[in-house]
Structure 1
């Protein structure tokens, strides 16, 4: 090969290398600035590393490009970060999970807006979408929150915190941040039940209806019956007759469905209406919580979104 023929090839190789490097730097820059994260194990891209960042950073890539849309898969967003020194929890017994929410200035946030009677909502779900828990942690004066988790099964769990800052740059903005934690022991995965419009819990039957399309707002209804008869004595729970949370089977994206049914004393039911919007198609695991006679019930079913 002559010297003249080798020169264009070298220039082409150099241009290709430069293009690849430019794309890589652009991807890294966008992930750091917007709090993008991976889906399942919880990649943690933020402005400052936290105590569990190395474990979170070894996550898989699916879902990374959707973290900034509010699906709860990032530990950081818009300068706000969920930090925790806890990377593992024991199996088979209750345990406290402590965490802090820091603001863009790196300091713990202590001023939150009350949403559905609480300043902080906390959710725990295993990666196979079993073992759902919805808690309301307490905050110490230094901004450390403590969530008293009931006994957990072995495996990887994703822990979500939902809040609205009352001051600062994020004032009035709803945030859902999350981290993962390992629970000791040998995990025994449970297959997700097939999509179904009905489920039962504590003697109550819940029928869910709604023709939903990903990325489009729609309406979903849940009807509660007992022994075939309509239930009309639902009590308010968190300022509503039912609290509905959903998680995507593919990457554990978070969705909170907002109730539209107005509260009228202890006379809720049988049909409840929710404003529903799911970011992506596929199976979603729904957890519907409602209260009767002072007892909280949690019903679970799988919903398919087109």
Structure 2
């Protein structure tokens, strides 16, 4: 898989997570798929030239160089994530409204395009279930609205991944996070045991590699269906795969991508190579996204890092 792109990245915070890996997917319908408690924004990806995105390989938000790509916090480098609601209703779609304020205390309205989007937004419950990956819309005043699929009761954490395109932090990748409570009695789920395989929609995803904390290791993801290699992975957010990882307990965040770049109109698979580096040992819950035939698939797997 490729390392992703981020121009002018700031030096990563100590403990920032780099895990290069991912699976790509985005449907051309522009609607969201909701699969097994996981929801993902999947408007058709635009080319960097069409959106003003950068095409420099080797960088990305959530990677080394992204401020806050480890332990979650709602403020970094003078930037702050603020949200309109501290609680959300359970069992129904909900709008989550938030804004980013800069070092001057004013709402930020200029954002660089990264992986065809100005904002990547994630939500996950404290037991690492219910993963959602969305691309919200911004109003003229800098207020973002993420349309979340139905949430289950409990404590959730939201993550905003972005790069300011003006001001003191211009060109600095940032990841900010806040908690939000969902009404009702929470029924926590046990984290599934560590595994090297995951199934979704008839596909089998296999991880190969033995990552160790604070050490760089190669990793390969292989995608198969009915025992046969899959070679028709479609580009999603400029890659053939997308991976988001969360650490059990402190919910540290890592966002990773394939080493190879998606080719315009091309197809990828079955093997996707990564460079993996985790900032701490323990269990990480990985959500791997990839697309075939215009449909987004998400496979979840627990990875034990020594």
TM tier, smaller: 0.7 to 0.9
For residues 277 and 232 of structure 2, what CA distance do their matches in structure 1 show? Answer: 28
- Which has more radius of gyration? 1
Deviation at 1:194, TM superposition (A): 0.4
> What secondary structure does 1:239 align onto?
coil
Deviation at 1:69, TM superposition (A): 5.3
Q: May I ask how many residue pairs the two structures share in their alignment? A: 242
Cross-structure match for 2:288: 288
Cross-structure match for 1:299: 299
> What secondary structure does 1:220 align onto?
strand
1:244/1:286 contact within 8 Å kept: yes
Cross-structure match for 1:22: none
Deviation at 1:176, TM superposition (A): 0.5
> What secondary structure does 1:263 align onto?
coil
Distance of aligned partners of 1:305 and 1:153 in 2 relative to their CA distance in 1, 3 Å threshold: same
Cross-structure match for 2:49: none
For residues 122 and 71 of structure 1, what CA distance do their matches in structure 2 show? Answer: 16
Distance of aligned partners of 1:305 and 1:82 in 2 relative to their CA distance in 1, 3 Å threshold: same
Deviation at 1:172, TM superposition (A): 1.2
After superposition, give the CA deviation of every residue in 1:255-284 in whole Å (9 maximum; x if it has no partner).
Answer: 011321222334210011223221110000
TM-score, normalising length: structure 1: 0.77
Deviation at 1:218, TM superposition (A): 2.6
For residues 177 and 87 of structure 2, what CA distance do their matches in structure 1 show? Answer: 15
TM-score, normalising length: structure 2: 0.77
Gaps of 5+ in 1: 1-34, 37-67
2:182 is aligned with 1:183: yes
For residues 233 and 258 of structure 1, what CA distance do their matches in structure 2 show? Answer: 18
Cross-structure match for 2:147: 148
Tell me which protein shows more helix as a share of its residues.
1
For residues 187 and 89 of structure 1, what CA distance do their matches in structure 2 show? Answer: 13
For residues 148 and 161 of structure 1, what CA distance do their matches in structure 2 show? Answer: 14
Gaps of 5+ in 2: 1-12, 15-66
